[in-house]
Copies of this chain bind each other. A is one copy, B any other.
């Protein structure tokens, strides 16, 4: 119940980031809604396609669809206000990332994926939607360039996998994994951490 409420908050945050990017790219109201849906439900859909869950959960649970679509429409209508709330959206986005990654990792483990595969699937669940958003809007995915985004996702997935190997109870392990992700993201945003870039190629 609490978990579902948190999930819906995460979906709304991801949908808002997709819709804002679509408004900036001058898409019409329908394109903005599609980007909101893709960004918030794309990661989970990729996870389900990889793991063979048909049809993908994101398409079957109508509250997910409703929250994503309504968020898209709200952003379309009030986007200058939402753009001013950028800091809050980033905060919610960190929570969404935490929930999506740990839920994705847990699902993969439950369906019998080996630990390293579960890590990758969990990370993909968290960053796949944002990557789709950027590919559709013709950007190099931000999650491959932004401060410690995918690294945070991988760290949280790792916590879940280690907890599973040690047979610890699932819920506290998921919360710990989420906390690691949220903590790393907030630290990265606060300190402007970035992963190193290779020196420019001269040859």
Residues A203 and B60 in contact, CB atoms below 8 Å apart: no
A29 near B: Cβ within 8 Å?
Answer: yes
Q: Which chain B residue shows the least CB distance to A83?
A: B203
Interface pair B79/A26, CB less than 8 Å apart: no
**Which of these, B37, B113, B116, B203, contacts A80 with CB under 8 Å?**
B203
Q: B52–A198 contact, CB under 8 A? A: no
Any B CB within 8 A of the CB of A135: yes
A residues lining the B interface (CB < 8 Å): 22-32, 34-35, 37, 45, 49-52, 54-56, 59-60, 62, 65, 76-77, 79-80, 83-84, 108, 111, 113-114, 116-117, 120-121, 131, 135-141, 144-145, 150-151, 194-198, 200-203
Q: Are A117 and B150 neighbours in the complex by a CB distance under 8 Å?
A: no
A198 to chain B minimum Cβ distance, whole angstroms, is 5
- Choose one: B29, B35, B197; the contact of A29 (CB below 8 Å): B197
- For A56, list chain B residues within 8 Å (CB): 50
